[in-house]
Amino acid sequence: MKNDWISKIKEARNLKNLTLESCSKEINIPVEFLSNLETANFKKLPPPVFTKFHINNYFLYLGLNPEDCLIEYENFLTTNDQKNNEKELKKEKQDSLKRRYLSLVYVFGFSISIVFIYFFLFGFENSRDENATSDQILMEFENDPAIKNNFSINAEKKEEPDIIQENNNFLENPITIDFPLKINIEIDGESMVIIEDKNEVILYELMQTGSYELIGNPPFEIRIGFAPAVKIFLNNQEINLAKFINKNSNSAAFYTIDGLDVEKIRN
């Protein structure tokens, strides 16, 4: 299949007396991209949204069907994604073990504090006069700052794992907003940007350097081909893309309601 579609695009280009440089100027695709494509060097091609866009344009320009090329490219992506997913799963397991370990440490620390308080009170009661009332003992316990601080600190530590779990439930318990929001996009260079709101795709475009504004109804699904070149503001709130950039492709994909609650899309 590889030799078939490669030979077809080379043959079509030669029949039209076109060089890679002339094709690059005509359809605004880098020469390096065309060269790597005609040798099926997929590893050196840009993120998928860029690559698929350019492949379709190039084959259309030559009057060819890109189906075979896209199938082979998708197979390459699938294999590559499987390797990346294995790495992510391994990292998630390690993070889960760390969280469990911290939870055990917090619970253990809290339990030790309770035992300490119990023995402190027990010894304290034995040293008091036999006529002391239980109300007096509790009053002294409440007025002792060392005991109160120790108890409150450990109680806060014990609750921390629940907070972590709650932040991971963005998609399970989403906030609802029933009015449209303004989206501002700033591009420095070139990037494919796809934005889908709750009703439809409101942007699907290979964008150049500049500033853009549009309106959509949340929630939003946003995919960016080359995230380092893009800034996105939702109701003047900049979304921190650094947390969602795929290190292998520099692309980013995430869900958001209001720009503050953001959830990464895991392919």
Fold of 2-65: 434 Repressor (Amino-terminal Domain) (1.10.260)
Residue range 181-264 in CATH 2.60.40: yes
Query: Which residue intervals of 128-267 are DSSP H helices?
Result: 134-142, 145-167
Residue 146 has pLDDT above 70, yes or no: no
pLDDT (0 to 100) of residue 77 = 93
- For residue 224, give the nearest of 197, 239, 245 by alpha carbon: 245
Is residue 57 scored above 90 in pLDDT? Answer: yes
Cβ contacts of 245 within 8 Å, gap of 6 or more = 227, 228, 251, 252
pLDDT (0 to 100) of residue 58: 95
Rounded Cα gap, residues 160 and 125, in angstroms = 33
pLDDT at position 215 over 70: yes
pLDDT for the residue 162: 43
What pLDDT does residue 100 have? 77
Rounded mean pLDDT of 144-150?
55
| Per-residue confidence (pLDDT) for residue 78, from 0 to 100 | 92
Which band of pLDDT confidence, cut at 50, 70 and 90, is reported for residue 155? very low
Judged by average pLDDT, the poorest of 14-23, 34-43, 191-200 is 191-200
Q: Which pLDDT score is estimated for 15?
A: 94
For the chain, the 3-state helix, strand and coil shares in percent, each to the nearest 5, are 55, 20, 25
Range name among 13-27, 42-56, 122-136 with the lowest pLDDT average: 122-136
Most confident of 104-108, 180-184, 258-262: 180-184
Tokens matching residue 184: 């501002």
Mean pLDDT of the chain, nearest integer: 80
Asked if residue 192 lies in contact with residue 47, where contact means CB atoms within 8 angstroms, the answer is yes
Burial class (CB in 10 A: 0-12, 13-18, 19+), 51: buried
Strand segments (E) across 76-229: 181-196, 201-216, 220-224
Q: Where does the pLDDT of residue 163 fall: very low under 50, low under 70, confident under 90, or very high at 90 and above?
A: very low
Q: Which residue has the higher pLDDT, 127 or 242?
A: 242
Q: What is the pLDDT of residue 142?
A: 58
User: pLDDT category, 139, cuts 50, 70, 90?
Assistant: low
Q: What is the pLDDT of residue 137?
A: 47
pLDDT, average across residues 133-145: 56
The string of pLDDT tens digits covering residues 166-178 is 344 444 555 556 6
Mean pLDDT for the stretch of residues 186-200: 89
Question: pTM value?
Answer: 0.40
pLDDT in tens, 68-122: 999 999 999 998 878 777 777 787 778 877 787 777 777 777 778 787 786 666 6
Of the chain, the percentage scoring pLDDT greater than 90 comes to 37
